[in-house]
């Protein structure tokens, strides 16, 4: 049997059922190339949850997305990200108006350099049925770096945009059903045309990508497809089951090629 590759005491290419703050504490300083975090946005918190008129359009209201000490929680996991990121490494953090300003402030305070924020414009997002707000149709992604030698694969950027550098906007439909065959997660990110591109833009082959909030494993699957290593943490076992099923599919596709 092939020997397992380790980073500190953590195995590469494995999802750990563990709080990501504890998990990342087990990784050495300055040891990883890219961190792609899709954290709780705290939409479930009191005051943040938008009521819609139709139940089928109700916003995410999961226990894991309802955090009382949100500032402290974010600062803890972002501090670990800052510590484990190598010089030249990148941190990508997803968010909406509920968390992105706070995370941006904390990332900046920790001394990482915010290079840009990407916008994901979801062309088929649900309408605002109350008519009291515009229909939410974007999510934001902060790209921050450590040191000056960051990875941005311009050749790849050109290859996905007709020979020109990309703009900092991704315009796609929401996560398609075809990516949900292994089971459903309430906030599964899109793989094709979004996560796959972000990983290829901000890391190189064989790099180590840390996924603190694994959910159904989109970032892990796309890391495998792009020949990167991953380390992932997730607290909810049923989501890990979905993610592992998706990884099995990705590995079997790789073998078939």
Ligand X SMILES: C[S@@+](CC[C@H](N)C(=O)[O-])C[C@H]1O[C@@H](n2cnc3c(N)ncnc32)[C@H](O)[C@@H]1O
Closest contact distance (angstroms) between CB of 187 and ligand X is: 4
Closest contact distance (angstroms) between CB of 222 and ligand X is: 10
Helix residue ranges per DSSP H, the chain: 20-25, 70-84, 100-109, 154-159, 196-202, 218-225, 237-256
CB 136 within 8 A of CB 87: no
192 DSSP 8-state letter: I
Residue 22 or 53 with smaller CB distance to ligand X: 22
Task: Give CA–CA dist 146/21, Å, rounded.
Answer: 19
| CA-only gyration radius of the chain, Å | 18
Residue 33 or 219 with smaller CB distance to ligand X: 219
Q: HSE (CB half, 13 Å, CA atoms) of 66? A: 10
**Interhelix angle 237-256/218-225, nearest 10 degrees:** 20
Residue 53 or 253 with smaller CB distance to ligand X: 253
Residues near ligand X (CB under 6 A) are: 19-20, 38, 40, 64, 185, 187-189, 213, 215-216, 218-219, 233-236, 239
Closest contact distance (angstroms) between CB of 139 and ligand X is: 10
Closest contact distance (angstroms) between CB of 155 and ligand X is: 27
Q: Report the residue number whose CB is nearest to ligand X.
A: 215
């Amino acid at each position: 049997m092939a020997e397992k590759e380790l980073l500190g005491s953590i195995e590469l290419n494995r999802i750990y059922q563990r709080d990501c703050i504890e998990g990342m504490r087990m990784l050495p300083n300055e040891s990883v190339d890219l961190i792609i975090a899709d954290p709780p946005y705290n939409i479930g918190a009191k005051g943040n949850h938008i009521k819609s008129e139709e139940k089928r359009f109700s916003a995410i209201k999961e226990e894991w997305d309802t955090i009382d000490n949100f500032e402290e929680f974010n600062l803890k996991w972002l501090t670990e990200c800052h510590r484990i990121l190598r010089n030249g490494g990148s941190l990508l953090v997803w968010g909406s108006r509920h968390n992105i300003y706070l995370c941006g402030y904390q990332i900046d305070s920790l001394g990482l350099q915010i290079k840009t924020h990407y916008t994901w414009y979801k062309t088929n997002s649900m309408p605002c049925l109350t008519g009291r707000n515009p229909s939410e149709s974007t999510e934001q992604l902060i790209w921050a770096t450590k040191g000056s030698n960051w990875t941005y694969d311009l050749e790849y950027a050109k290859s996905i945009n007709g020979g020109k550098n990309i703009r900092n906007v991704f315009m796609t439909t929401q996560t398609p059903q075809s990516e949900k065959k292994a089971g459903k997660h309430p906030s599964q990110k899109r793989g094709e045309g979004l996560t796959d591109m972000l990983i290829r833009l901000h890391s190189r082959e064989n790099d180590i990508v840390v996924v603190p909030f694994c959910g159904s494993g989109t970032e892990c699957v796309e890391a495998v497809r792009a020949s990167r290593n991953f380390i992932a943490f997730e607290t909810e076992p049923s989501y890990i089951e979905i993610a592992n099923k998706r990884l099995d599919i990705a590995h079997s596709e790789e073998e078939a090629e």
